[in-house]
Structure 1
Amino acid sequence: MDNPAPRPTRKNALVRVATFALIVLPIVIMANLAIWAAFNQPHDAEAWTGEIVGFSYSPYQRGQDPTKGIHPTRDQIASDLKLLSGSVQAIRTYSVIRGLEDIPDLAASDGLSVAVGAWIDTDKVRNDQEIANLIKLAPKRNVVRVLVGNEALLRNDLPVEELIAYIRTVKKSVWKPVSTAEPPHIWLKNPELVSAVDYIGVQILPYWEGIPVNQAVDAVFDRLDELHRKYPDKPIVITEVGWPSRGKIIPRKPYPGIPEAELSSEAVPSLVNQATFMREFLNRAKDADLTYYVMEAFDQPWKASEEGAAGSYWGIYNADRQPKFPMKGSISEAPQWRMWASIAAGLALVFAVAFMMIRQHVKTAGVVIFTIVTQVAASALAWAGLSVTGLYLSSVDTVVWTFLFAAQGLLLIVLLAEAIEFVEVIWTRHGERHFAPFEPTEGYPENKVSIHVPIHNEPPEMVRDTLIALSKLDYPNFEVLVLDNNTVDPAVWQPVRETCAQLGSRFRFFHLENWPGFKAGALNYGLKMTAEDADIIAVIDSDYQVEPNWLRTMVPYFAKEDIGFVQSPQDYRDRHESTFKNMCYWEYAGFFHIGMVQRNYFNAVIQHGTMTLVRKSALQKVGAWAEWCICEDAELGIKLYREGYDSVYINHSFGRGITPDTLAGYIGQRFRWAYGAVQIVKHHWRSLAPWARKGGLTSAQRYYFLAGWLPWFADGLALLFTITSIGLSIFALSQPKMVQLPVAAFLIPTIGSFVFKFVRSLWLYAVRVKDCSFIESLGAGVAALGLTHTVAKAMLNGMVTSGKPFFRTPKCEDKPPLAAALIQVREEAVMLTALWGLSLAFLLNENFADSLSRLWVAVLLVQSVPYAAAVLLSFINVMPSLFNRKKDATEGALSPAE
């Protein structure tokens, strides 16, 4: 063991902390706040200081909904009108039943004029009731005009002839001006309707036309000019005009009078755009002496189910009766951004300072990088939170957003854990725990080693090579126990028994039939059969060919009495056989050369069940191998740590096995590892919990075991995220006007996380996996991504079950045919098809031609990357056999007939 690198003295540590707190932290925090400020620049627009001519007024408040029979009280309406009376001359209503018939009288007491409207739709009974009440209310002094219906023709609720009949019925009894409210194109193509009314009540809402806000007011006046030109003698009243503060971006659309080249942006609903539109319109409307009703006085949350995401946000006041923006001065899209930015910066500050205090071995550059990552992560979460403020969430929305925020929080914790590993690997003062193989100058250690080789249905030729390599060990005092676990076919296990007999008395063979406990059960049997004088148990897999110096250079570490186990990495000898195996090889290498080396500095390595040596007395003390767990090796390591034993990890290959021949084997192996990790966490939770004070594990061991498995838990969470995005996408495509895609909740957990992990992986491989080329590190990344769905399933399965069967990693299997290539990744192929299909559907759907929808497509495509990697890996796996079959078929076709 190397001498430990000197730790910073207390004085130096205090100086470092002070320097960091006084110089680095303020710079990073100020940079973060500057970015927040840059994205939240106040917007200047022409001020409006006059009185508004009119508001469209719907009196419904939070939790009220006319479609569900929940209506406002008379007192609530009176309170609304009193609030509006200081800023508006008149209001316009939509219905005169269910308590809304009281509005004219209540408005009169506040000096407000009223344009009374009757709702007309397909319900003729209701229509008659509305018309009757409208006729009764029209004579009131403050009623200045009457509206029969609102966009009834636009909704195709009735033919124009029926609407005209209703209008004529009202005109027979009412001397006030009578009309209906429709958008411009309805009036332009129905001159008979124009003839039937006293004035044109026109709804001009450029947002729905996809007109950019900077051209929207011009579009309003263009529409008015068009109507004046066609109907020069008919008065025009704008019955609705406005812009929503939230909702779906409307894609660019051609518009009469505006060249398509000038449609430079989209109709974006936002608070700044709403305020900008309203200020400009009000000033121009005053100059033009227009009669208008702003759409609308108060936000109406219930309209989301009728008009889509934007329907709730047309109000000048929000649903709580608070003004949404000032009519003069600068306008901010998110006035609360300073609070959210401060919370993000403060939360990140706590993490950064804690990291620096605990990880004093990390160099200053690493601390700065971690501080930047924490600021970005906290700001991302705060930004997602800010995006929800002001939304009127239904119960379903609340459940969805609660899940999304909880998932984002957990994913950001994983991101921070990976950032910690990243900065520790790159910017750590190394040398505190570094082990190398012993090089004895004379003699051998006295310890007797019992080598256990568990096998199950393994190719006898492969096992024979493993045993022959063991027979050549440069170590005098060892025995080999071959533990055949439930192999049924005698033709498979009997040749192995014969090989043991040929190799001499130190090789003993045990055939176990109907033996419980899988691999752990066989190893526990071997522990009972171990020679009495053996004090070290070694375990290797059936495919491993060890080097002669393995025991001679590893056993000396057991001279230190508290050493519980000595571990060296798994390695493989067949990576040159195919591209698939090469990718798998380097994917494995990342764990052993990066993660295990880093964990070794904190005495927290994961024990794996091959190339491992365990002190027999320690193994017996902790209860031997766990037969309830399919990862009995990693579980044993935790038990040994709990009992206070130390470990040694030597990053040197002493034996090499065989990588799985098929993707199915590779996937199955990773499923077992991931499922076993969940079993271990559930079983040892009281010892692994960060707040645990008992259980024998150090804080570093608890952290590294949990942090090491967190990315796998994150894969399970990412699968839920992907399923959620698929569900939201299907719903959005089926109801394009009803859904506002929650892009803010997905950008960082998907695109941001993917980019960070991609850069992190390549950087770590370049630093720690020295013999791996850039192309090979990319291949390793593809292999790891291809396992994402498998790991996710294993983690989610492990959370709800506890008895998955042991999965043996297949060895030396034939390559599968092309059909099998798809079958072994059929779930991934289905997910890939779904994500790509939905992406294409969004790209082809004109309702989603906006920039926000394009970002959503990017989210879907990034989510598809692991599934594409799995399918690609499957085809890479079968390509050699596929080409060989084609070659054989060609040669067979060319050979002469017999």
Structure 2
Amino acid sequence: MRKSAIAVLFLVILGNVGAWALWNRPVAERPWAGVINGVSYTPFHPDKSPTKRDRPTSDDIEKDLKALEGSVKGVRTYSTTDGSEMVPAIARKHGIPVTAGAWIQGQTEIDEPEIAGLIKLARTYPNVRRVLVGNEALLRADVTVPQMIDYIRRVKKKVNVPVSTAEPWHVWLEHPELADAVDFLAVHLLPYWEGVPVDDAVDYAMLRYNELKTRFPNKHILISEIGWPADGPWRRGAEASQVNQAKFVRTFLNVAAQNRLDYFIMEAFDQPWKREIEGTAGTSWGMWDAWRNPKFPMIGDVHEMKNWPVLCAASVGLAFLPLVFFLTRRNDLKFAGKLFYGALIQAVGSVLVFTFSAASAAGLATTTEIAWGVLIFCQFVLLAVMLIDGLELTEVVWQERFRRRFQPCQAAPAPDAPKVSIHVPCYNEPPHMVIQTLDALARLDYPNFEVLLIDNNTKDPEVWKPVEAYCKQLGEKFRFFHLDNWPGFKAGALNFGLDVTAPDAEFVAVIDSDYQVHPDWLKATIPHFARPEVGFVQSPQDYRDWSHDLFQRMINWEYAGFFHIGMVQRNERNAIIQHGTMTIIRKQALVDVGRWGEWCITEDAELGLRLFEAGYESVYMPESYGKGLVPDSFSAYKTQRFRWAYGAVQILKRHWRELLPGARKLTSGQKYHFITGWLPWFADAAHMVFGVAGVIWSLGLLLFPKYFEFPPNAFMIPTLSVFAFKVAASLWLYEARVKCGFWDKVGAAVAGMALTHTVGRAMWQGMFTSGRPFVRTPKCENQPAFMQAILMAREEIALLVSLWAAALAIVLVFGHENRDAFMWAGLLVVQSLPYLAALITSLINAFPDFRIGRRRPQPVAAMPGAAD
């Protein structure tokens, strides 16, 4: 490795360590050196759940109470039928008193065994000092106050220990008759659920405690639950975190000692099974984690993730080999580029490690595992796309030199220059437009060429007859062919052209029937075939007559991005996409690889891949030598991109074996560009699923909050960050390579984003269907009416409205208490942006006010055919 590469490696690793350390910087909180009065205890280990009718073993409870011995003075249980009935006997061996509880649910078959068990425990074990008949049963409305009082009285008659029930503070205030029925008040003070910020939470809890003390001066008050979760959603100002849990607990323990409070900390051990009923927050109230390890120290600094050095080291290890591979192979990049992309690799490694760490602590429920598995896969795809975009940005901005830069040839062609057969496939195109194309070809500054105008399947003689007549006027170099009922669409027409090509022609050039070529086109490009390994020479697609129309201006610059950014970078690895216009192919190579593929609706890109597989090289010159017409309507624009995307899937289904590692026909660079070039289109396909899933998940949050919760920030924040990176990278790339103004860059971004749904639909159809007919992109269409514009984007509008409605409903229902609701709503809005872009683009296309200048020529009706 060069010294600069070693320096980058060192800086990236140092920066990563610094980021982890900064994020997990220690927080000094008030220490606690005493013994905890009591903790709530549920005896289920990570692999067990009462909802599955699992029962803890006596060994499980023995290990738990041994871990608590010396740290707490007592424990509180919640049931007498789920295995918790074994706690008093085992706790007695360790000298731990128990406040036993019975689970009351308002169902006789559940309540009666619980009450009987509670009475038995209180009469059998002297370390059962108090009993609680029910836990928040009134809050849940499982029973009425009279029913609860009746239960309490029944128990009081049978036991010789104080009896109460456990409820939040407001239930006691609302039902003083309940307070009269109990021996003491067992109150839950949980400021997190009430949205109180952690800095104010202990004071708030004491406020409620003193309110009860004032209201019921003759009743002893037991704080039967008080605590703070280490993980979970924001609730108004309350943030669940490890640091906040330590802050709350340590502060409260000191306040409790000063005021001699009677309390149980909620709770002893994390309970992953509670995710099913209380979401993420319900799993993480424990002072010990689910594996019985202390979560934070009582004295000294607190870290959000105490094992962050291990995770940091894992992230460095995950990114190390890709970093070294990148740095040792990319000596053509400037130092800043190496540092930028190296940092991006390391950032992806850190995000993945953090995500897997969060997933490992999420609990073991099957639904949870499935949800996290899907989310991790989606995040992996998003991060892969970001790395691909990041590498393109790095190469464009910081590449020191081009390895394959081809310049136009300036020398005048010799009289015996090799012959070129120029094929112009045409279907149902406006005669005046095709005639302009022929005129431009007639002006070519090249001595030896022919032009074959191949009109296939045009039914109206009034359309093709004028073109035929004009070809005769231009002389013997121009030949016209009209084909009726010809199969194979554009590829079929081109294969016919190959059959009738002049025998002495060495090269076949193809342009679309709307292209007006520059006179120097052949002169500047044919000399590049001097090397026999060159199979084809490609010039960019370029366009004319778009500046007077905002819609056409937007899509012109959207096209320009690919030809001035993507194709230039692909050319560096001899991996360009061949296009069916402004391309010149060695005729013998075309014949040898099997001619044009009539089975594929993107026959041009498929032929280019076959030429690469046969060992040929390509030449790409970014200089423009011909200009065509952009689509007139958003519908035509979508149709064209649908065809490109659908054809890409066809190509992958036919050629996937050659793209696998170990296949020898393609170089690694060619495999990289063909795979990564189409991967964002698969991401568009996934976006469709995400959009629909986002709406469905939102409905679940609204209608079934018990079973649905907001996705963790470990996914939402990276997703939003990747979107922001893609937007910034796109604008940066355009600034570096595409010479247009800022608003043209924005317009290009909007136009490209508007095709997301179209591309996604094409990819899904391409994966599950084949043989979709070729549909040409119409030119010179009438300006669509407003309602036509709405109809052109009707699917996108439906998804846009659904996502916005879901986002609004989430904010209205949850926004007052849960900051995660705003994050989720923001994610829904971000998901909706491609659909909004489609609506905007369609409306711009529809409104005549956006047209500047003369109207374009009137079209002939669009039908399936051969031209692009």
Indicate the TM-score class for this superposition, using the shorter chain for normalisation. over 0.9
Deviations 1:243-270 (A, max 9, x none): 122222211xxxxxxxxxxxxxx21122
Bigger drift between 748-757 and 221-230 goes to 748-757
Distance 1:58 1:601, change over 3 A: closer
- Correspondence for 1:837: 805
The reply on whether 1:823 has 2:791 as its aligned counterpart is: yes
Corresponding residue of 1:259: none
Paired residues of 2:5 and 2:328 also in contact (CA < 8 A): no
Structure 2 gaps, min length 5 = 856-868
Check whether the contact 2:790–2:839 (CA below 8 A) recurs between aligned residues.
yes
Q: Kindly indicate whether residue 39 of structure 2 is the aligned counterpart of residue 45 of structure 1.
A: no
Decide whether aligned partners of structure 1 residues 848 and 631 sit closer, same or farther in structure 2, where only a CA change above 3 A counts.
farther
> Could you report, residue by residue, the CA deviation over 1:832-888 in whole angstroms, capped at 9, with x for unpaired residues?
22222222223322455443332333322222222211111111111117999xx9x
CA contact (8 A) 1:715 1:791 kept: yes
Q: Are 1:219 and 2:204 an aligned pair? A: yes
1:25 aligns with 2:19: no
Matched with 1:9 is none
Moved more, 484-493 or 651-660: 484-493
Question: How far did residue 314 of structure 1 move?
Answer: 1.8
Q: Deviations for 1:395-426, whole angstroms, at most 9, x for unmatched residues?
A: 22212222222222232222222222222222
Deviates more, 1:847-856 or 1:827-836: 847-856
- Return 659-668 or 203-212, whichever deviates more: 203-212
**Who is 2:418 aligned against?**
447
Deviation at 1:500, TM superposition (A): 3.0
1:684 Cα deviation from its structure 2 partner: 2.1
CA distance in 2, matches of 1:614, 1:725: 47
Q: 1-side partners of 2:693 and 2:431: how far apart?
A: 48
Residue deviations 1:675-703, cap 9 Å, x none? 222222332223223x23511x2332222
1:392 corresponds to: 363
Contact kept? 1:480, 1:506, Cα under 8 Å: yes
In structure 1, list runs of 5 or more residues that go unmatched. Answer: 1-13, 252-265, 888-898
Q: Which secondary structure state, in structure 2, belongs to the residue aligned with residue 139 of structure 1?
A: helix
1:81 aligns to what? Answer: 65
Q: 1:375 to 1:523 in 2, by over 3 A?
A: same
Note the C-alpha offset of 1:379. 2.4
Aligned in 2, Cα 1:199/1:846: closer, same or farther, shift over 3 Å?
same
* CA–CA separation in structure 1 for the residues paired with 2:391 and 2:270: 46
Q: Is the contact made by 2:40 and 2:75 (CA closer than 8 Å) also made in structure 1?
A: yes
Q: 1:194 aligns with which of 179, 182, 186?
A: 179
CA deviations over 1:308-330 (Å, ceiling 9, x no partner): 33222222222223322222222
**Corresponding residue number in structure 2 for 1:167:** 152
Instruction: Establish whether residue 692 from structure 1 lines up as the match of residue 662 from structure 2.
Output: yes
Query: Is 1:541 equivalent to 2:488 in the alignment?
Result: no
- Residue 471 of structure 1 corresponds to which residue in structure 2? 442
SS of residue paired to 2:289: coil
| Residue in 2 that maps onto 1:632 | 603
Distance change (3 Å), C-alpha of 1:80 and 1:743: closer
Q: Please name the residue that 1:350 is paired with.
A: 321
1:600–1:649 CA contact under 8 A, matched in 2: yes
What amino acid sits opposite 2:564 in the alignment? H
Hey, what does 1:666 align to over in structure 2?
637
1:420 aligned counterpart, secondary structure: helix
What residue is the counterpart of 1:244 in the other structure? 229
- CA shift for structure 1 position 782: 1.4
- The worse-fitting range, judged by mean Cα deviation, of 561-570 and 424-433 is 424-433
* 1:661 Cα offset (Å): 0.3
Q: Measured at CA, do residues 512 and 340 of structure 1 come closer, stay the same or move farther in structure 2, by a change above 3 Å?
A: farther
Identity among equivalent positions (%) equals: 50
Question: What secondary structure sits across from 1:644 in the alignment?
Answer: coil
**SS of 1:362 mapped into structure 2:** coil
Amino acid at match of 1:734: L
Mapped to 1, the partners of 2:490 and 2:184 lie a distance apart of 88
| Alpha-carbon distance in 2 for matches of 1:726, 1:745 | 20
* 1:454-465 equivalences in 2 (<5 Å): 454-465=425-436
CA shift, 1:568, in A, is 1.1
Q: AA paired with 1:650? A: M
**Worse overlay, 606-615 or 485-494:** 485-494
Specify the alignment match of 2:863 in structure 1. Answer: none
* 1:101 paired to 2:77: no
- C-alpha contact (below 8 Å) 1:732/1:741 kept by paired residues: yes
Indicate the SS of the match to 2:773. Answer: coil
CA distance in 2, matches of 1:688, 1:818: 45
Letter in 1 for 2:433: M
Q: CA deviation at 1:39?
A: 0.9
Deviations 1:364-411 (A, max 9, x none): 222122222222332233333343342214222212222222222232
Between the aligned partners of 1:618 and 1:651, the Cα distance in structure 2 is: 23
Match of 2:559 in 1: 588
Q: Contact 1:295/1:315 (CA < 8 Å) preserved in 2? A: yes
Q: Given the superposition, is the C-alpha separation of residues 130 and 28 from structure 1 closer, same or farther in structure 2, using an over 3 Å criterion?
A: closer
User: Is 1:233 aligned to 2:218, yes or no?
Assistant: yes
Match of 1:184 in 2: 169
3-state SS of 2:138 partner:
coil
| 2:134 alignment partner in structure 1 | 149
Q: Which of 837, 841, 852 is the equivalent residue of 2:820? A: 852
The one-letter amino acid of 1:802's match is S
In the superposition, the TM-score normalised over structure 1's length comes to 0.90
Superposition RMSD on alpha carbons, in Å? 2.4
Q: What is the match of residue 488 of structure 2?
A: 517
CA deviation profile, 1:506-540 (whole Å, cap 9, x unmatched): 33333333332221122112111212122211111
Paired residue total: 852
Deviation at 1:302, TM superposition (A): 2.5
Is 1:474–1:549's contact at 8 Å kept on the other side of the alignment? Answer: yes
2:591 matched to 1:620?
yes
| Residues 86-121 of structure 1, C-alpha deviations (whole Å, 9 max, x = no match) | 322222222222443333223222222222222222
User: Do the aligned partners of residues 278 and 698 (structure 1) sit closer, same or farther apart at CA in structure 2, a change above 3 Å counting?
Assistant: same
Matches of 2:277 and 2:632, distance apart in 1: 57
Cα distance in 2 for residues equivalent to 1:38 and 1:385: 20
Residues 125-524 of structure 1 aligned to structure 2 (within 5 Å) = 125-140=109-124, 141-251=126-236, 266-441=237-412, 443-524=414-495
Match status 1:90 vs 2:67: no
Q: Are 1:810 and 2:810 matched, yes or no?
A: no
Aligned position for 2:766:
798
In structure 2, which of residues 84, 91, 95 is the aligned counterpart of residue 111 of structure 1?
95
Q: Indicate whether 1:531 and 2:515 are aligned.
A: no
1:146-182 Cα distance to aligned partner (Å, 9 max, x none): 2212111111112211111111122222222111111
Q: Say if 2:673 is the partner of 1:704.
A: yes
Gap change, CA 1:559 and 1:307, over 3 Å in 2? closer
SS in structure 1 of the partner of residue 98 of structure 2? strand
Give secondary structure in 2 for the equivalent of 1:484. Answer: strand
- CA drift at 1:541: 0.5
Decide whether aligned partners of structure 1 residues 457 and 327 sit closer, same or farther in structure 2, where only a CA change above 3 A counts: same
Whether the 8 Å CA contact 1:568–1:653 is kept in 2: the answer is: yes
Equivalent AA in structure 1 for residue 10 of structure 2: P
Q: Is the 8 A contact 2:4 2:335 kept in 1?
A: no
Call closer, same or farther: CA 1:602–1:91 in 2, change over 3 Å: closer
Equivalent residues of 1:743, 1:856 under 8 A apart: no
Q: CA deviation at 1:579?
A: 0.5
In 2, the alpha carbon distance for the partners of 1:49 and 1:745 equals: 34
Deviation at 1:78, TM superposition (A): 3.5
Task: Quote the Cα distance in structure 2 between the aligned partners of 1:559 and 1:122.
Answer: 90
Residues 662 and 877, structure 1, Cα contact 8 Å, conserved in 2: yes
Which residue number corresponds to residue 858 of structure 2? none
More off after superposition, 341-350 vs 208-217? 341-350
**C-alpha spacing 1:751/1:247, structure 2 compared with 1 (3 Å):** closer
Distance across 2 between alignment mates of 1:333 and 1:165: 46
Tell me how far 1:704 sits from its aligned partner: 2.6
Once the 2 structures are TM-superposed, how far is the Cα of residue 585 of structure 1 from its aligned partner?
0.9
- Shift in Å, 1:488: 3.3
Corresponding residue number in structure 2 for 1:895: none
Query: What do residues 659-682 of structure 1 show as CA deviations (whole Å, max 9, x unaligned)?
Result: 000011111111111222222233
